[in-house]
Amino acid sequence: AKAEGKGTFRLFEPAMAAQMLLRSRLEADMRRALTAGEFEVHYQPLVDAQTGAVTAAEALVRWRHPEQGLIPPADFIPLAEETGLIAQLGAWVLRTACSDAAAWPSTITLAVNLSPVQFRDDHLPDLVASILDATGFAAHRLELEITEGVMLEDEARTLALLTKLKAIGVSLAMDDFGTGYSSLSYLRRFPFSKIKIDRSFIRMLPEDSESAAIVRAIITMGACLGMATTVEGVETAEQYAFVAAEQCGQVQGYHVSRPLPFADFLTFLNLSAMA
Ligand code: C2E
Ligand code: CA
Ligand code: CA
Ligand code: CA
């Protein structure tokens, strides 16, 4: 900053320049981390709302940074999407999760998040098929979670890719349902078999009557469309009781368990099988 004389035309505010430097450092660090094996996949159990049995787990990526500790996905996924690095990271997550999940009881399905950016690659269905092939994980046990953001991509292409994915035998879940602008029309047009009700509708349950009405209506709508519903973000016994009474399919949330490292998830499975 000292070298900048008077009258120098400043394109950037210093704060903005610092921000950009930080971002390019983070990007380089992320590339390094991928090769160094610093990313981890944690698993959050999903239970059958009626029986309490573990029926699935959602794979959630974390970055175990040597200096900064465990970094949550919200701090690096957006940049990975902007830089295109999500393609490699996403493929790594899918491969790792399928290979981990191959060791679980066959009644347990695996849910993996796909970024809308991964849909820019026409080879996505081939990638999924080759990972299933390489890991020996059965296609019908894999569920891909997709947010409405994917519909902002070229719609005809998105539909073609989703149809191809479906043809492989995997199932598709609409994630964060209710937060977007046109969730309902997408449900009609795209081959989803499950709705995941966004956490924001659960937070004020069971006291808030508007949230309660919305959750009840989405579960009913799902049932009418022949779709399963998962409620995420269930943190209390009261919330669990409410959504179970409303006949939702699966429950996910801290009340059941936080996302767990692979070994801890296996322990959780064994303990819940004994219970
Ligand atoms: P998401 O797909 O909606 O995942 C659920 C998030 O809610 C997870 O946060 C999970 O830890 C958190 N959660 C679960 N139960 C509760 C609860 O009871 N209370 C609260 N407050 N939170 C709960 P996480 O792991 O930090 O992930 C955040 C987001 O990052 C995910 O939201 C997803 O959009 C993205 N993400 C995570 N892993 C991946 C990945 O491998 N690929 C892609 N593309 N995105 C990922
Ligand atoms: Ca998800
Ligand atoms: Ca979600
Ligand atoms: Ca979310």
Q: Report pLDDT digits (tens) over 211-234.
A: 999 999 999 999 999 999 999 999
- Rounded to a whole number, what is the largest CA-CA distance in the chain? 74
**CA of 252, closest atom in ligand 1:** 15
Helix axes 209-224, 237-245, angle to 10 degrees: 40
Token pair 């292409």 is found at 157
Report the C-alpha gap between 244 and 49 in whole angstroms: 5
Confidence at residue 1, expressed as pLDDT on a 0 to 100 scale = 45
Confidence at residue 10, expressed as pLDDT on a 0 to 100 scale = 64
Whether the pLDDT of residue 4 is over 80: the answer is: no
Is 183 in contact with 177 (CB distance < 8 Å)?
A: yes
What ligand is nearest to the CA atom of residue 115? 1
Q: Where are the alpha helices (DSSP H) in 86-205?
A: 86-101, 124-135, 155-168, 183-189
**CA of 73, closest atom in ligand 1:** 30
173, β-bridge pairs: 145, 194
Q: Is 230 in the pocket of ligand 1 (CB under 6 A)?
A: no
Mean residue pLDDT of the chain comes to: 92
Q: What proportion of the chain, given as a percentage, has pLDDT over 70?
A: 95
pLDDT (average), residues 138-165: 92
**CA of 235, closest atom in ligand 1:** 18
Whether the pLDDT of residue 100 is over 80: the answer is: yes
Whether the pLDDT of residue 70 is over 50: the answer is: yes
Q: If you count DSSP H runs as helices and E runs as strands, how many of each does the chain have, helices first?
A: 9, 10
List pLDDT tens digits, range 125-149: 999 999 999 999 999 999 999 998 8
CA of 232 to the centre of ligand 1 (A): 10
Q: Is 150 in the pocket of ligand 1 (CB under 6 A)?
A: no
Confidence at residue 240, expressed as pLDDT on a 0 to 100 scale = 98
Tell me the CA end-to-end span of the chain in Å, nearest whole number.
64
pLDDT (average), residues 115-120: 95
Could you report the predicted ipTM of this complex, rounded to two decimals? Answer: 0.98
131 vs 5, which has greater pLDDT? Answer: 131
Whether the pLDDT of residue 40 is over 70: the answer is: yes
Which residue's C-alpha comes closest to atom 11 of ligand 1? 259
Confidence at residue 6, expressed as pLDDT on a 0 to 100 scale = 58
Q: Is 254 in the pocket of ligand 1 (CB under 6 A)?
A: yes
Which residue's C-alpha comes closest to atom 45 of ligand 1? 113
Q: What proportion of the chain, given as a percentage, has pLDDT over 90?
A: 80
CA of 254 to the centre of ligand 3 (A): 13
Taking the CA atoms of 192, 194, 196 and 201 in sequence, report the sign of the dihedral they define.
positive
pTM (2 d.p.): 0.93
